[in-house]
Chains A and B, each alone.
Chain A
Amino acid sequence: MKFIDEYRDKAGAERYARALAEITTRPWTIMEVCGGQTHAIVKFGIDQLLPPQITLVHGPGCPVCVTPLELIDKAIHIAGQPGVIFCSFGDMLRVPGSKSDLLSVKAAGGDVRIVYSPMDAVKIARDNPDKSVVFFAVGFETTAPANAMSVFQAAREKLTNFSILVSHVLVPPAMEAILGSSGNCVQGFLAAGHVCTVMGYTEYDPIAAKYRVPIVVTGFEPLDILQGVYLCVKQLEEGRHCVENQYTRAVQREGNLGAQDLIRRVFRVIPRKWRGVGEIPQSGFGLTPEYAGFDAEQRFGITDYTAEESGECISGQILQGHKKPRDCPAFGTRCTPEHPFGATMVSTEGACAAYYRYRRD
């Protein structure tokens, strides 16, 4: 496919790897933020092409992985109610809650439907006026324009049987939380390309300056990632720390202003709990007062429910770059994609699932 295949060119990848080896004089640790990048790095063996001094650690950019336990429990509660059609992206169905998962609710007769787009859930609400249709609105900034549009259009059409269970998280506050943590080892970032397609990358300037880290907005194909690593290492070797854009074919500095406008109409910034990490201030979206009537938590009276995570899963340390999947004693034995302890083993973009699939030897 155009704009995909040419960025998987083997000779180009080897050339970038050679160039990296030429400029690398010291050990550097770089975090790729986005789970899509983690998946590509492990799938294509990009980390194995790099000079041994460069370590890639995998970041928190998998919304399936960081959706907090209590929101999974809330989703399971709502999906089990009579008269409800619960709509979700497919990879949320096997994420373990405290006692169950959405797939089990479906197996027990609950009307749980996998949708491709939040607008599919709006259509289901339109077609089923006697049912309460709830969409599980997870995602980073990339997904916010779509989820905001679903609420905006449902309001415009006065679809009072539609609501969303919001679990939206934001990338820059998570990067700051990682950089500000006591055990931080991250010296440079590959920022998530599609998040920046929506939001632009001006938010990263103060982070790069405050923590003196290079941040390179990076795409998802092997050549993109290798060029992103190259630009990041070049800055580190030269003692610079600024924001650069590798993914220029899809990202402009100011982002998509029309999408940002609708996001701001529908969502406001709030604190969010991240699974395995804990609460991060100003790190998520909730509905604005104007659209609060579409909040499924309020509609089903479950805003106050909380849940504690079990201590066995180390996904929180993996998501912050402190550990790798193989550091976990349960990896690949007691914890597998079929029987996951934590969400990093569920989502295809979770670091544990990627290692399980491509690196079990």
Chain B
Amino acid sequence: MCLAVPGKILTITESPIDDPFGRTGRVSFGGIVKEVCLAYTPEAQVGNFVIVHVGFALNTVDELEAHRVFEYLRQMDELAELETSPP
């Protein structure tokens, strides 16, 4: 139920004057486009990826941090090589 899916923002409509939480955007999930509430991600811009749950963007994906899982693997491999290589 806590499924949240990353999608790319295509367009943004800023809040109307009478609705402080009215910021919305069209977000593409691998080609399927849905309207998403961007009230909780005021920092998100067109081209950013946001994590979307039941029609609400909960956060902007940090693209630099997104590599950390692979970076950690690479570091483990380097460490293993150091340990096994002859002195």
User: Which of A's residues lie within 8 Å of B, judged by CB?
Assistant: 1-4, 6-7, 12, 15-16, 19, 34-36, 61-64, 89, 91, 116-120, 138-140, 142-143, 145-146, 149, 152-153, 156, 192, 194-195, 197-198, 220, 223-224, 227, 246, 248-252, 256, 258-259, 262, 347, 349
A36 in contact with B3 (CB, 8 Å): yes
CB contacts (< 8 Å) of B76 on chain A: these are: 15, 19
Number of A-B contacts (CB under 8 A): 127
CB contacts (< 8 Å) of B29 on chain A: these are: 1
Chain B residues 7-21 with CB under 8 Å of chain A are: 8, 19, 21
B6 in contact with A1 (CB, 8 Å): yes
Residue in A12, A117, A256 whose CB lies within 8 Å of B55: A117
- Chain B: residues with Cβ within 8 Å of the partner, total of 36
B69 in contact with A145 (CB, 8 Å): no
A1 in contact with B72 (CB, 8 Å): no
B65 in contact with A248 (CB, 8 Å): yes
**Beta-carbon nearest neighbor of B40 in chain A:** A259
A-B contact pairs, 24 of them (CB 8 A): A3-B61, A3-B66, A6-B70, A19-B76, A35-B2, A62-B1, A63-B2, A116-B54, A117-B56, A139-B1, A142-B1, A143-B1, A143-B2, A143-B53, A146-B37, A152-B21, A194-B51, A195-B2, A197-B51, A198-B58, A224-B69, A249-B65, A259-B40, A347-B1
Shortest CB distance A64–B (Å): 6
B2 in contact with A61 (CB, 8 Å): yes
**Beta-carbon nearest neighbor of A61 in chain B:** B2
**Beta-carbon nearest neighbor of B68 in chain A:** A248
User: Which of B's residues lie within 8 Å of A, judged by CB?
Assistant: 1-6, 8, 19, 21, 29-30, 37, 39-42, 49, 51, 53-56, 58-59, 61-63, 65-66, 68-70, 72-73, 76-77
In whole angstroms, how far apart are the Cα atoms of A35 and B29 in the complex?
22
The 8 lowest CB-CB distance pairs between A and B, nearest first, are A117-B55, A248-B65, A142-B2, A1-B30, A3-B6, A249-B66, A249-B65, A259-B40
Shortest CB distance B58–A (Å): 5
